[in-house]
Amino acid sequence: MKTKQPCSPEAPRVRRGLACNITGRKILPLVALSVLLTFATLFAGCTTEPGGADAATAPPINGTVTKVEVIHFTAPNQCTSCVVLGNYAEETVKTHFPEELGSGKLVFDHIDVAAPAKKEIVERYGATGSSLWIGTYDDQGAFYAEEDIRVWYKLNDKPGYMQYLKTLIGMRLNGDFSQ
């Protein structure tokens, strides 16, 4: 008994498709290649180490720094890492900068991006979810906001996280934007 091949003329019409005709056999590999290239292009970001060659660098503020805000933006439903991110940041600020916190030169806050009362500050920073932002103000009215994504890579190393953030906040308080 001879079985019918999917692309044979005797095959039922339902089983005959694009791959059964000559044009389909030529186009199908091109379509597959196009899909693969599209996915490769879409997912080609995030390929360097944090703090690497493509890490964001902030331009210096023109005047003297008057205030630095460290804000942990949260989403309504936080994962464990998001909570740890905020807790470590708060502990770092309270441990290493009590005088600056007391004088108002440094401000720390946890802000829910979905809170209507905090809409203005969320928009000022451009936060969309759980993240850590540093905002620097100068005596000429300038404001510079920067999201620090490097802290996410330090969540499994609390001392390293705290040392890194302590150094970064100290630099911003001194008007240093070299890192």
User: With DSSP H G I counted as helix, E B as strand and the rest as coil, what are the percentages for the chain, rounded to 5?
Assistant: 45, 15, 40
73 and 24 both lie in a single domain: no
CATH number at residue 106: 3.40.30.10
The mean predicted confidence, pLDDT, of the chain is: 81
Please say if the pLDDT value at position 56 is more than 60: no
**Given pLDDT bands bounded at 50, 70 and 90, which one contains residue 22?**
low
| pLDDT tens digits for range 90-117 | 999 999 999 999 999 999 999 999 999 9
Distance in angstroms (rounded) separating the CA atoms of residues 132 and 151: 8
- Report pTM: 0.65
Name, in order, each residue with C-beta under 8 angstroms of 178's C-beta and a sequence gap of 6 or more.
171
Query: How many domains does the chain fold into?
Result: 2
Task: Supply the range of the domain harboring residue 114.
Answer: 65-173
| pLDDT tens digits for range 133-146 | 999 999 888 899 99
